[in-house]
Amino acid sequence: MESDEAVQSTNDDASECKRSAVRLGYWQDRFIGVLARATERKPPEINRGYFARTQGVTLFVKQFLKVVGEKCQIINIGAGFDTLYWRLKDMDLKVENFTEIDFPSVTARKCYAIKRSKVLLDGLGITDGEVKFSSTELHGGNYHLVGADVRNLADVAQKLRESEVDLRLPTLFLAECVLVYIECAQVTRLLAWIVEHFSNALFVNYEQVNMCDRFGNIMLENLRARGCPLSGVESCKSLDTQKKRFLNANWDGAKAWTMVDVYAAIDPSERHRVEKLEMLDEQELLTQLFQHYCISVAWKGPVLQGGIRLSEYDDNE
């Protein structure tokens, strides 16, 4: 479908923006340059936004790993060209299984890039096993890259089995700018399916919020003009609709913060470092962007009942 192709192309934007910010020193990622095309330098507000997004997601990933330990899994839904698997290895953070899912046309390109890249292949850390490749899928060590439309739950279940995902292990599901492209009813089915099958799970979701005001409407119009259907936008009206999406699908609890709060929770020395990298033309524009993106988290099962926090001062219930 044409609209699916437009959604898939959002991965090129995301990975090119990440590459632009990394090149300017916002954070370290020696892998994104292998996967993403080099493009012109992005505006400072965009670089700063991607910095907040990457650091915010990493903050929750690290918290999950601290709570559950190494015997856990990460499943990245709509992973695109994300490099978290390799970056975790660079940080010496270990997981039992790391599975990435995206449309086969996207995973095919990622497979091809991995096959041709020594740095990405070395990152799989395979010493005594082999890497199994097809044109759209790759299984090597604890890394699995599989092609599926996540609206098709039978396919998702099959691909997770092939990736040796263990339903009993604490599992972090990650979705960065993915659910907004999927019909709300289908997202609810996916979220309910996860809760039904995994005994301990955390979901970390990054995407648009506060889409009902003027700035939100302009953002939506820009995306629609590119042919992207924003079928899931109903859940992006407010922090409350973001949380309700999980609670309606039977998750035990949920929290959500705009990127204004997430940015403020990033280590101050890191924030001060990146604030010196580029002059911001428009502080107001950055604030508006931060008000219109959020991270929502939801948990299920006894292991994560202690709750997940944005910071030690967090009293968001």
Q: Which residues fall within 8 angstroms of residue 276, CB to CB, at 6 or more apart?
A: none
306 is in an annotated binding site: no
- 231 touches ligand SAM by CB under 6 A: no
Region from 111-119, 148-156, 237-245, 306-314 binding ligand SAM, contact rule CB under 6 A: 148-156
Report the nearest approach of ligand SAM to the CB of residue 287 (Å): 22
- 44 touches ligand SAM by CB under 6 A: no
267 is in an annotated binding site: no
Comparing CB distances to ligand SAM, the nearer of 126 and 157 is 157
Short-list 42, 78, 111, 304, CA closest to 207: 78
Q: Exposed, middle or buried by CB within 10 Å (0-12, 13-18, 19+), for 168?
A: exposed
Which of 52, 106, 209, 308 is close enough to bind ligand SAM by CB under 6 A?
106
User: What is the footprint of ligand SAM within residues 171-210 (CB under 6 A)?
Assistant: 176-178, 181-182
- Give yes or no for a contact between 86 and 155, defined as CB atoms under 8 angstroms apart: no
Comparing CB distances to ligand SAM, the nearer of 156 and 303 is 156
Report the nearest approach of ligand SAM to the CB of residue 130 (Å): 27
- Give yes or no for a contact between 126 and 141, defined as CB atoms under 8 angstroms apart: yes
Short-list 124, 147, 126, 143, CA closest to 135: 147
Which of 16, 29, 45, 102 is close enough to bind ligand SAM by CB under 6 A?
102
8-state DSSP, 168 = T
Strands 73-77 and 171-176: parallel
- Give just the sign of the alpha carbon dihedral 288, 292, 295, 296: positive
Comparing CB distances to ligand SAM, the nearer of 179 and 303 is 179
Dihedral Cα 35, 111, 5, 235, nearest 10 deg:
-80
User: Strand pairing partners for 173?
Assistant: 75, 203
Q: Residues for the chain: how many in total? A: 317
- 8 touches ligand SAM by CB under 6 A: yes
Comparing CB distances to ligand SAM, the nearer of 178 and 254 is 178
Report the nearest approach of ligand SAM to the CB of residue 69 (Å): 25
Binding mask 58-87 for ligand SAM (x = CB under 6 A): --------------------xxx-x-----
Short-list 288, 270, 303, 225, CA closest to 59: 270
Number of neighbours of residue 280 by Cβ within 10 angstroms: 14
Which of 103, 203, 246, 293 is close enough to bind ligand SAM by CB under 6 A?
103
- Contacts with ligand SAM, residue ranges (CB under 6 A): 7-8, 10-11, 14-15, 78-80, 82, 102-103, 106, 149-151, 176-178, 181-182
